[in-house]
Structure 1
């Protein structure tokens, strides 16, 4: 996702990772902070609990987080898991990790977590990158990956034999209120924009689920939509700008429709996401 205002439409769902495909982009700390509350409300506590059940019952945990950004996934998930915990943060943008504030994060038993960082694009991810790890996590990542990126991540998970929780992947469902006649066409253009440069976009959840299933793994998903209302007006405004800009970049003939959509205003929005848990 370059600079605000208006999140980069290529990565309008937000991640700090640099994928291996062309034109990698990164999120900004401001955008990640703006969306943090909506993200935490949406994430699947049910799948987080099931992840916890599949962790080793004794000893320290080592958890890898891909596309960590400012550490939002760690801040949300670590207090739900036993410890001691060591988190390894992976990101393609070394600058954004400087904004990761995890000093006050505690595990479920009240112990502080340990944190390490690794910088690099997913194209450099080695097959044994997660050797010895207890689990893998990622947030708002899968839809900006290429197929090769996803295959590389799944192969490394299977090699490590540890569960993986992927949070907040967009699925191509958007509901705006009040509606306009242009919404469906704008949404389709945005989805096509997400698929540019070979990225998975709204096809990410079924694609990665099929990869894990083909490896003989179990897969569960959970609907985790953003439900944004009056209290989320700043987030709605930034998200809408990025959504419309991407749609018009994909189909310039929709410029008038995008202008009409902006003029109509948005009181609330539902942005569809899914969380995915996979385990051997």
Structure 2
């Protein structure tokens, strides 16, 4: 897998700004919407699997891939019982320091949560690197991976017998209220931008489900859409600028009309008259437990 963390991943997906020094600000801006969107329906089957892990009384070991500022840990750790050790993986040392400093310290039942960090690329991640892991997590990562990288991720997780909770992958669909004649055209251009090179963009979730299923894992899929209204005006404005900008980068012939479209949308956003649903998907993959224990 390529060496991408949540900072670059989240900046590349959804139409966020791609200038790296703005990544922490963007991640902070989107964190409340991410937390509200993640599929809590996947937590019960995950808890059942985690409760039956061998050595569960020693606590959970959770590897967060491309951890960015650590928003996944801040969301998930307080929702799980038992002692937890989070292994935060990212290539950016500044993001790792921020994630470690802001990590939660207490689980749902009051048990301690501790954190270690690993700086490096995800390119060479193998099942051996995940030995002893209870869970793999990632947020806003799948859609900036290639087919080969997703299959490598599935191979590592399944090889380690480790569940994977992979959240907030773009689904390629956006809905606006009120609608506009250019909505579909901008969406199509943005999706094409997401698929540049060998990246999968909105096709990533389908590929991930297939990759895990082919290796014998049980896969659950659940929608996790952003619902952006007047209370999310700052996020919606930043997202709109990046989303339209990526569409114009992909199809420069749209630029003049798209700028007028953007101005109209930003005006509606500032007036509290715009609602946006940005569709994402969450994936829970449950490999066969090591040793065949259910």
Do both share a fold (TM > 0.5)? Answer: yes
Inter-partner Cα distance in structure 2 for 1:159 and 1:279: 12
Superposed displacement of residue 70, structure 1: 0.7
Residue 209 of structure 1: aligned partner:
209
More deviation in 142-151 or 186-195? 142-151
What is the CA deviation profile of residues 192-219 of structure 1, one whole-angstrom value per residue up to 9, with x for unaligned ones? 1011121110001110000011111100
Inter-partner Cα distance in structure 1 for 2:44 and 2:22: 28
Residue 108 of structure 2: aligned partner:
108
Task: Kindly indicate whether the alpha-carbon contact (under 8 Å) linking 1:14 and 1:32 is maintained by their aligned counterparts in 2.
Answer: no
2:276 is the alignment partner of 1:269: yes
RMSD: 2.2
The 3-state SS of whatever aligns with 1:243 is helix
Superposed displacement of residue 139, structure 1: 0.7
Change beyond 3 A, Cα 1:146–1:24: farther
What is the CA deviation profile of residues 114-165 of structure 1, one whole-angstrom value per residue up to 9, with x for unaligned ones? 1111111221323422111111011111111111221111111011001110
The 3-state SS of whatever aligns with 1:109 is coil
Task: Kindly indicate whether the alpha-carbon contact (under 8 Å) linking 2:89 and 2:96 is maintained by their aligned counterparts in 1.
Answer: no
Unmatched segments (≥5 aa) in structure 1: 16-22
Number of aligned pairs?
A: 268
2:43 is the alignment partner of 1:51: no
Task: Kindly indicate whether the alpha-carbon contact (under 8 Å) linking 2:103 and 2:115 is maintained by their aligned counterparts in 1.
Answer: no
The 3-state SS of whatever aligns with 1:124 is coil
Task: Kindly indicate whether the alpha-carbon contact (under 8 Å) linking 1:52 and 1:80 is maintained by their aligned counterparts in 2.
Answer: no
Residue 63 of structure 2: aligned partner:
64
Inter-partner Cα distance in structure 2 for 1:174 and 1:225: 9
Residue 30 of structure 1: aligned partner:
25
Superposed displacement of residue 112, structure 1: 2.6
Change beyond 3 A, Cα 1:271–1:185: same
Q: How does 1:213-224 map to 2 (within 5 A)?
A: 213-224=213-224
Inter-partner Cα distance in structure 1 for 2:191 and 2:20: 17
Inter-partner Cα distance in structure 2 for 1:25 and 1:263: 25
Task: Kindly indicate whether the alpha-carbon contact (under 8 Å) linking 1:122 and 1:149 is maintained by their aligned counterparts in 2.
Answer: no
The 3-state SS of whatever aligns with 2:130 is coil
Superposed displacement of residue 228, structure 1: 0.4
Residue 19 of structure 1: aligned partner:
none
More deviation in 39-48 or 54-63? 54-63
Task: Kindly indicate whether the alpha-carbon contact (under 8 Å) linking 1:11 and 1:25 is maintained by their aligned counterparts in 2.
Answer: no
Inter-partner Cα distance in structure 1 for 2:115 and 2:275: 37
Residue 252 of structure 2: aligned partner:
252
Change beyond 3 A, Cα 1:179–1:256: farther
Change beyond 3 A, Cα 1:221–1:61: same
Residue 78 of structure 1: aligned partner:
77
Task: Kindly indicate whether the alpha-carbon contact (under 8 Å) linking 2:144 and 2:201 is maintained by their aligned counterparts in 1.
Answer: yes
2:164 is the alignment partner of 1:164: yes
Task: Kindly indicate whether the alpha-carbon contact (under 8 Å) linking 2:218 and 2:286 is maintained by their aligned counterparts in 1.
Answer: yes
Q: Which has the higher helix share?
A: 2
Inter-partner Cα distance in structure 2 for 1:207 and 1:104: 32
Inter-partner Cα distance in structure 1 for 2:164 and 2:174: 26
Residue 126 of structure 1: aligned partner:
126
